[in-house]
């Protein structure tokens, strides 16, 4: 083999190797693909409604969501890890942002992230403008936590505690204020292209529907959380399809 032929062969081998490398990068999992370990990692961000104040751990809605997703066909070999919850009773959007930082959840890429926050902004008399700004930042954080996969972020509306024994004496004012926060939440969520699940009407079925409120007279019961999950599980499952 002369020098000219040898150079040509070397160039041909290099070119084929480069093309193979490009093809491999094209075939990498896309925006909606599951991480290849077969385990869906779910992170729930929020406040008392997400941590499930006054209900058993199994009754928390993120845990009920995992249980409901587990019985669905999400693909061969795919299963769910238990939900990881970053939430504390009383947290506002400001508190949740700090809580995310402290929890160091950004050391992991999550396959699914939910966000439910705002009731304590309303309860503490904080402005809707502040809520809007910090809620937008929280959406940015949620998106980053999924590795930029917007289909894997979903938002849950704020339940209406005016329809509880605790809030019933001031129901109309509570409901009116929460409506403004929920309108803001929904508008920002949809504008950014994320899924929004409106569970507020479910929370407003008390006292006509029995068993919706926990024993503390304020927070949702496990039964109410199950109704939330039933209303959203199909869409969440669809978002997890490769």
Helical H segments across the chain, by residue range: 3-26, 48-51, 61-70, 93-103, 119-123, 128-145, 171-191, 200-203, 222-239
Q: Which two tokens stand for residue 208?
A: 């006509």
d(CA 92, CA 125): 11
- Domain regions of the chain by residue span: 1-30, 32-239
**60-78: per-residue pLDDT in tens?**
999 999 999 999 988 888 8
What are the angstrom distances between the C-alpha of 3 and each of 11, 14, 17, 130? Answer: 12, 17, 21, 72
In this structure, are strands 195-197 and 84-87 parallel, antiparallel, or unpaired?
unpaired
Give the per-residue pLDDT at 78.
87
Give the per-residue pLDDT at 77.
82
d(CA 56, CA 42): 19
Q: What is the pTM of this model?
A: 0.85
Main-chain dihedrals φ then ψ at residue 33, nearest 5 degrees? -80, 150
Q: Which two tokens stand for residue 45?
A: 């961000």
Q: Is residue 115 within 8 Å of residue 157, measured between CB atoms?
A: no
Give the per-residue pLDDT at 33.
47
> For each of the chain's 242 residues, which pLDDT tens digit applies?
444 444 443 444 344 444 334 333 333 334 444 444 589 999 999 999 999 999 999 999 999 999 999 999 888 888 899 999 999 999 999 999 999 999 999 999 999 999 999 999 999 999 999 999 999 999 999 999 999 999 999 999 999 999 999 999 999 999 999 999 999 999 999 999 999 999 999 999 999 999 999 999 999 999 999 999 999 999 999 999 87
CATH superfamily of 32-239: SGNH hydrolase (3.40.50.1110)
Q: Cβ of 147: how many Cβ atoms within 10 Å?
A: 14
């Amino acid at each position: 083999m002369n020098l000219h032929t040898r150079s040509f062969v070397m160039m041909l081998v290099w070119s084929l190797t480069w093309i193979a490398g490009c093809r491999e990068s094209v075939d990498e999992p896309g925006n909606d693909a599951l991480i290849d370990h077969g385990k869906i990692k779910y992170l729930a961000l929020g406040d008392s409604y997400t941590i499930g104040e006054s209900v058993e751990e199994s009754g928390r809605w993120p845990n009920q969501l995992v249980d409901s997703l587990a019985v669905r066909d999400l693909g061969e070999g795919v299963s769910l890890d238990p939900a990881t919850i970053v939430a504390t009773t009383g947290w506002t959007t400001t508190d949740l942002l700090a809580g995310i930082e402290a929890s160091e959840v950004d050391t992991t890429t999550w396959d699914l992230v939910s966000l439910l926050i705002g009731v304590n902004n309303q309860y503490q008399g904080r402005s809707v403008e502040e809520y809007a700004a910090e809620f937008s930042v929280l959406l940015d954080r949620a998106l980053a936590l999924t590795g930029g996969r917007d289909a894997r972020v979903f938002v849950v509306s704020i339940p209406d505690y005016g329809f509880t024994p605790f809030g019933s004496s001031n129901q109309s004012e509570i409901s009116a204020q929460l409506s403004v926060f929920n309108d803001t939440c929904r508008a920002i969520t949809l504008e950014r292209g994320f899924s929004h699940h409106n569970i507020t009407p479910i929370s407003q079925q008390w006292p006509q529907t029995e068993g919706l409120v926990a024993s503390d007279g304020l927070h949702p019961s496990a039964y109410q959380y199950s109704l939330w999950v039933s209303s959203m599980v199909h869409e969440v499952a669809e978002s997890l399809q490769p």
